[in-house]
Amino acid sequence: MSILFSAAACRSTDGVSGTSLNSSGKTYEIYLTFDDGPWHGTDDVLRNLKGEGDVPATFFLCGYVFNDEQGGGNVSARRGYLREMLGGGHLIANHSYSHKYNYDDPSWMLADFAANEGAIQAQLDAEYPHEFACFARLPGRRAWDVDGIHVEDDGDTDPTVSLLTGREYNVYGWDAEWEQKKEWKGCTLAATGTLKQTPEGMAEETLKALRKGDTKKPGKAVVLSHDVLFRESQGMGDKLGAYIRALREQAAANNETVTFRTLRDY
């Protein structure tokens, strides 16, 4: 499937609120995003999204994973995940080729994002969706530049963001993160590879932010997580589905509804 896309359409001026009233109450838009794939756990994420009724999501990809030496092998399976993402109505988006935080050198960062366009295009050939070069998330930094929202939470990224927006990208941070549990190992706080929040707790956190208006756009929540956290092999294979169900159930209990969208609709 080939998606025709005009680069000029990357940056819109639509800042309309996602909150709407239906006969029963508010509807919130949830934008699930998964970073650093395709990687271990990507197949489990895709299976969960499909199992909950083809829930659409956005995948911020890094092209280095297709380099056998750096990516640890399994390239053909990862290429299959790319095709599954496109066939399943998901959005694939740019998270830089190498995932390096070289923010002192914005031109290098821009080149790393451009290299990622080439790397993903090389995997997909004619199926490459040109909209890939419209959606960016910085590695290791929460910065936004979309529809007049310009926020830099962690410092030192503004020049990189400006170069990306000059290339027609929108830059997306996140409103809530489903993150890894961390534990002290000696003097170091290390990630454990398991989820910090339960599915029900994460659903509560997401809905609380929406109800308080504590998201970048009212009524819309961008949720960050990582493919690697949902591995069936680590006993985490049903957590994403449980989160989606908890969001629906907790919203319904409060006379609200949730819908899932990709960042195309943000």
Q: Which residues make up the interface to Zn ion (CB under 5 A)?
A: 35-36, 139
Q: Give the largest Cα separation in the chain, rounded.
A: 55
Shortest approach of Zn ion to residue 99 CB, angstroms? 6
Alpha-carbon gap, residue 195 to 88, rounded angstroms:
25
Specify the residue, 35 or 43, whose C-beta has the smaller distance to Zn ion. Answer: 35
Q: How far is the CB of 138 from Zn ion (least distance, A)?
A: 8
Q: Which is nearer to Zn ion, 56 or 139 (CB)?
A: 139
Contact call for residues 4 and 191 (beta carbons, < 8 A): no
Nearest to 96 by CA among 160, 179, 32: 160
Minimum CB distance to Zn ion smaller for 58 or for 210: 58
* Lookup: tokens for 187: 């003097």
Cα–Cα distance between 20 and 37 in angstroms, integer? 33
**Cβ neighbours for 179, distance < 8 A, ≥ 6 positions apart:** 195, 196, 197, 224, 225
Half-sphere exposure of 152 (CA within 13 A, CB side): 10
Give 179's DSSP letter.
-
Q: Shortest Cβ distance from residue 179 to Zn ion (Å)? A: 12
Rounded Cα distance, 190 and 193, in Å: 9
Q: Which residue is nearest to Zn ion (CB)?
A: 35
What is the smallest separation between the CB atom of 37 and Zn ion, expressed in angstroms? 10
Question: Nearest distance from residue 106's CB to Zn ion, in Å?
Answer: 18
Question: Which of 79/100 has CB closer to Zn ion?
Answer: 100
Nearer to Zn ion, 11 or 99 (CB): 99
Query: Closest approach of Cβ 46 to Zn ion, in Å?
Result: 18
Which C-beta is closer to Zn ion: that of 41 or that of 139? 139
* 226 bridge partner residues: 35
CA–CA separation, 73 and 75 (whole Å): 5
